[in-house]
Amino acid sequence: MEEIISQIFQVGFFAAIIRIATPFVFATIGELFAERSGVLNLGIEGIMMFGAMTGFSTAYFTSSLWLGILAAMLTGMLMAALMGFLTVSLGLSQHVSGIGITMLSTGFAFFFYRLIFGQPSTLPNIKAFTPVGIPVLKDIPWIGPVLFEQTTLTYLAFAVVPLAAFLLYKTPWGLNLRTVGENPHAADSAGVSVSAMRYQGLIISGALMGIAGAFLVMVQFNAFTFGVISGRGWICIALVVFGQWGPWKSAAGALLFAMIDALQLRLQASSIIDLPYQVFLMMPFVLTIVTMMLVSRNARAPSALLIPFRKEER
């Protein structure tokens, strides 16, 4: 037992948690913006996939990782705007629209990847982002290598959390967004455009989901594969519920989840426990369901979530 512990709990393990948490933080905070405005964005899985694909392709051809990130962001914003057209402008079912956006985005990602790269015998790859140590801080024992020798994207992800908290709770814009998600009629009477706020919430969500997808191909793996997202988006939906629709708690959920994921990777590699690797791959999904079971009963979603808003219907 002691051997297991010493094998797992090393500096590298904690650094891995932070790295693994990064895409979950981006996408979860993204989903949070959409849901606080009253729209459940189930397009998340597909948007991450499409963002990963456009991000990868752009980085591949321009040799600029940051242009890739930009492309992924724009892709996410575009698909989220389409989600807004369906659910906000037309008031269609958020559940089915979201599944539609995911299927469409995934289809686009596969189609364009095959169109651009064909079926090469070796997987096209890019030079991934490398960690950037922050001077002085990185020399702090333990904490330095864990927190301050990460990629720039990871620093950005953890900067997004306080930024989201500030925007949501400390600005008039955030108050409007939250009111639209809780009581759209009140917001409307106060002269706030419900649809404008919901579009904004969605487009922010799309941008962050796009970056999350791009992170996976630009840091975690340095190539695009059709299994690159494999359910991570759906887990983020659960993380928002776990985090009670708050940015800090949701990010904490992402970290907790990343710890489980890092643990399963270590256990899988260490051969301490002799189980088929699929059992480890399954673990995050099972744990997510169990967590949802524990928290959902007391969870209080934004009141207007899933309900389309039409001015004339009261």
Chain positions contacting another protein, by CB under 8 A: 42, 46, 82, 86, 90, 92-93, 95-108, 110-111, 114-115, 230-231, 234-235, 237-238, 241, 276, 278-279, 281-282, 285-286, 288-289, 292-293, 296-297, 299
Nearest-angstrom CA–CA distance, 159 and 130: 19
Closest CB to another protein among 173 and 226?
Answer: 226
DSSP reduced 3-state for 149: strand
Closest CB to another protein among 46 and 145?
Answer: 46
Q: Which two tokens stand for residue 77?
A: 């914003």
The minimum distance between CB 281 and another protein, in angstroms, equals 5
Closest CB to another protein among 223 and 292?
Answer: 292
The minimum distance between CB 108 and another protein, in angstroms, equals 6
The minimum distance between CB 10 and another protein, in angstroms, equals 27
Closest CB to another protein among 31 and 153?
Answer: 31
The minimum distance between CB 91 and another protein, in angstroms, equals 8
Q: Which three-class secondary structure string do you get for the chain?
A: CHHHHHHHCCHHHHHHHHHHHHHHHHHHHHHHHHHHCCCCCCCHHHHHHHHHHHHHHHHHHHCCHHHHHHHHHHHHHHHHHHHHHHHHHCCCCHHHHHHHHHHHHHHHHHHHHHHHHCCCCCCCECCCCCCEECCCHHHCCCHHHHHCEECHHHHHHHHHHHHHHHHHHHCHHHHHHHHHHHCHHHHHHCCCCHHHHHHHHHHHHHHHHHHHHHHHHHHHCCECCCCCCCCHHHHHHHHHHHCCCCHHHHHHHHHHHHHHHHHHHHHHHHCCCCCCHHHHHHHHHHHHHHHHHHHHCCCCCCCCCCCCCCCCCC
Closest CB to another protein among 104 and 128?
Answer: 104
Closest CB to another protein among 15 and 261?
Answer: 261
The minimum distance between CB 262 and another protein, in angstroms, equals 18
Structural contact between residues 83 and 41, judged by C-beta atoms closer than 8 angstroms = yes
Closest CB to another protein among 158 and 280?
Answer: 280
The minimum distance between CB 241 and another protein, in angstroms, equals 7
Contact partners, residue 82, CB within 8 Å, separation at least 6: 101, 104
The minimum distance between CB 194 and another protein, in angstroms, equals 16
The minimum distance between CB 173 and another protein, in angstroms, equals 28
Closest CB to another protein among 11 and 92?
Answer: 92
Closest CB to another protein among 83 and 147?
Answer: 83
Give whole-number Cα distances, 201 to 26, 91, 99, 102, 276, in Å. 14, 16, 18, 18, 41
The minimum distance between CB 133 and another protein, in angstroms, equals 36
